[in-house]
Amino acid sequence: MGGYPRRMRRTALAVLVVAFVAAACQLPPPPSPVPPPTSPAPTPAPSVSLTQVNDLGGAAAIAMATRPADSTLYVGTLPGHVFAVTGATRVEVLDLSSLVIQGGGERGLLGMTFSPDGTKLYVHYSATGTGATVVDEFAVSAAVPGVFNVETRRQVLTVPQPQANHNGGSLLFGPDAMLYLALGDGGGGNDGAPNYAANNHAVGGNGQSLQTLLGKIVRIDPTPSGVLGYTIPPLNPFVGVTDTGGTARGEIWSYGLRNPFRMSFDRSTGDLWVGDVGQGAREEADFVAAGDATHPGGKGANFGWNRREGTIAGPDATLPNSAGGTLIDPIFDVDHSHGDCAIIGGYVYRGSSIPGLVGQYLYTDNCNGRIRALTRSGATATNRDLGVAAAGPTSFAEDNSGELYVLTLSHGFYRIGPP
């Protein structure tokens, strides 16, 4: 990271190493009202509040998962420790640190989710030694909090990574009970352009190639099938499709992504939202409705990287997208003039404690931490600042009742509530 030119540092959690090291020496202040932006725009009055739930002892909170009939919040940290949290009480229930690469910047434990019935935990992490993307499965007892059996570990999926950054992050079950994994383009800058082969990227970029899982949203059934640790759903959009120079990967659901660090489905509508981290100019939020006539829930959607960065030209804008079809515009993008550098996508709020926020999509940025909301109107969205910020946010999370949380590098996590 330190050796990259400036345009290559604009990666999801590009400030993660610096912030995490600094946090080990001195914790930053707790969340506070947003500092004045660089433009004359006034600072908004807070529309929400942030209440610390648990500080996790200063560890870097990275992912949260819940399961049915269990009010426990299960929180994972970047080094690979999973805690069962009930208010101020936390108990470590799973230690994955021997599997997870340590001190790896954008690498580490990146995502986790329970199966719909709550009997299994799935984790996404960067493997020690190789840095490869790995998805593992662990059995969980019916007790509350759950008891995790390390000996039941089963590897579901592994994907080699050519560079150390752009590993993606989100791992979740969709409304269809399939397992979705968000993966970045393999790292470096420009998705390997112009010297694709020398940078170990597919010609034209991993994001546009249907022969790699990098730069994609992957959709699988985690049930083993033949030699695979999973089953490829037969209705995935590229099953049996021939791509330029070879056969497309049937696991692909959506493509054309740079680093979709956080994605979610609206629990009420099933709509897909993706926060895709930009390079030197734009951060973007992508949206596809569950009932979209062409790409329902994101099926077969091409979000444009590296032909585009947000709504502007990307590093290889002149090349055609290899799979054809129309590039999908982001529903919203923002430049870096006010301190944004790496979007942290969130959730559509469906809780009950903040009625005025229902139906709005919350997101933030790893650099400035300002919590914001998008209100969708057709193919566009209006943006508003909610007047609070979190220091070093890494993720949002949603509990069983639809209330939202924001996770941070060194202050644990906070519940988003009324002002």
Summarised one tens digit per residue, pLDDT across range 317-354 is 888 776 667 899 999 999 999 999 999 999 999 999 99
Phi, psi of 30 (to 5 degrees): -65, 170
Map residue 396 onto helix, strand or coil: strand
Report pLDDT for 178.
98
Angle at 371 between CA 381 and CA 178, to 5 degrees: 70
Among candidate residues 119, 107, 167, 157, the one with its CA nearest the CA of residue 136: 157
> pLDDT 10s per residue in the chain (419 long)?
333 223 334 443 444 433 333 333 333 333 334 344 444 456 688 999 999 999 999 999 999 999 999 999 999 999 999 999 998 899 999 999 999 999 868 999 999 999 999 999 999 999 999 999 999 999 999 999 999 999 999 999 999 999 999 999 999 999 999 999 999 999 999 999 999 999 999 999 999 999 999 999 999 999 999 999 999 999 999 999 987 778 999 999 999 999 999 999 999 999 999 999 999 999 999 999 999 999 999 999 999 999 999 999 999 988 877 666 789 999 999 999 999 999 999 999 999 999 999 999 999 999 999 999 999 999 899 999 999 999 999 999 999 999 999 999 999 999 999 99
- Which pair of tokens denotes residue 411? 């202050």
Report pLDDT for 246.
86
Average pLDDT score over the chain: 90
Report pLDDT for 242.
85
> What DSSP string runs through 296-338?
GGGTT-B--TTTEETTEE-TTTTSPPTT-SPPPPPSEEEESTT
Map residue 130 onto helix, strand or coil: coil
Question: Where are the chain's structural domains?
Answer: 6-417
> Right CATH number for 6-417 from 2.120.10.30, 3.40.190.10, 3.40.50.2300, 3.10.129.10?
2.120.10.30
CA distances, 203 to each of 211, 276, 317, 323 (Å): 11, 21, 14, 13
Map residue 198 onto helix, strand or coil: helix
Report pLDDT for 169.
96
- Other Cβ atoms less than 10 A from the Cβ of 357: the count is 21
